[in-house]
Amino acid sequence: MIQSAPTRWRAPPLVKASVVCHAGAALAVAVQPALWPWALGSVALDHALITATGLWPRSTWLGSNWRRLPDAAAARGEVSITIDDGPDPQVTPAVLDLLDAQRARATFFCIATRARAHPALCREIVRRGHSVQNHSQHHSHTFSLLGPRAVQREVAQAQDTLARITGEAPRFFRAPAGLRNVFLAPVLQRQGLQLVSWTRRGFDTARSDAAGVLARLTDGLAAGDIVLLHDGNAARSAGGKPVVLDVLPGLLECVVQARLRTVTLPQALQAEASGTVMARAGVTA
């Protein structure tokens, strides 16, 4: 869970098995050409499995993926509210005001091109005690179909853009719509980034029913949860109000009633790192 200096990427078991599958198929055809239908079928099944895994946002089969906060953060009663696809000059300021009203902290996964268009708003997010993290340069709907060089550009350019605007290099990455492919994990490793998905989402980019979105987010809300909302691409209620603005007050009230505390992802990571250092030194709380 704890980030350190980037090290060499180690392929997860699924990727290693995929390599073995391809090598075995090639060897089988070389030894016995008549086996080519079976070899082709095994490779096709392998590709289908890899693709399906990338289309499952909470999967860990393609590499490390935070689906909830570290155990130490959960033990402290912490949750993390993450807000994607901004900054949006019409919505983000109102989101910040709602968070301030409850003294809550959130993590904003920002699209770098939008951050570049609204740099002052991006800096305001940080000034108010929140965190700006990497949500790719362009938020391409075909992100999961990109090759390794294109994935590298999307991640690295966003990293540079957001670091220059906020003065803080992101430490976390969320793939557009949570969809990815096998090329992302080694890119994140080189950039020193941790992939993050979520524990619960309300589909507030598609659903205009604020009560329904809130129910999905708060039913069983527990320590360690990572909650997903959107200030960019937000669905609108019948009255034209972004759903996130109707949902957020109720969500924050639920957090208070459950005696939980909101933290940014870097805060959870920092506390996790501090706890590990203390444990190694033989210090207990």
Closest to 162 in 3D by CA, of 226, 231, 86:
86
Residue 223 carries which side chain, given as an amino acid letter? A
State how far the Cα of 249 lies from the Cα of 233, in Å rounded to an integer: 19
Query: Out of 84, 88, 204, 246, which one is annotated catalytic?
Result: 84
- Catalytic, 100? Answer no
> Would you give the DSSP letter of residue 192?
T
Kindly report, residue by residue over 127-178, the tens digit of the pLDDT: 999 999 999 999 999 999 999 999 999 999 999 999 999 999 999 999 999 9
pLDDT of residue 12: 72
Task: Please give the share of the chain, as a percent, with pLDDT higher than 90.
Answer: 73
pTM of the predicted structure, to 2 decimals: 0.88
Query: Out of 130, 230, 231, 246, which one is annotated catalytic?
Result: 230
State how far the Cα of 215 lies from the Cα of 200, in Å rounded to an integer: 11
- Catalytic, 46? Answer no
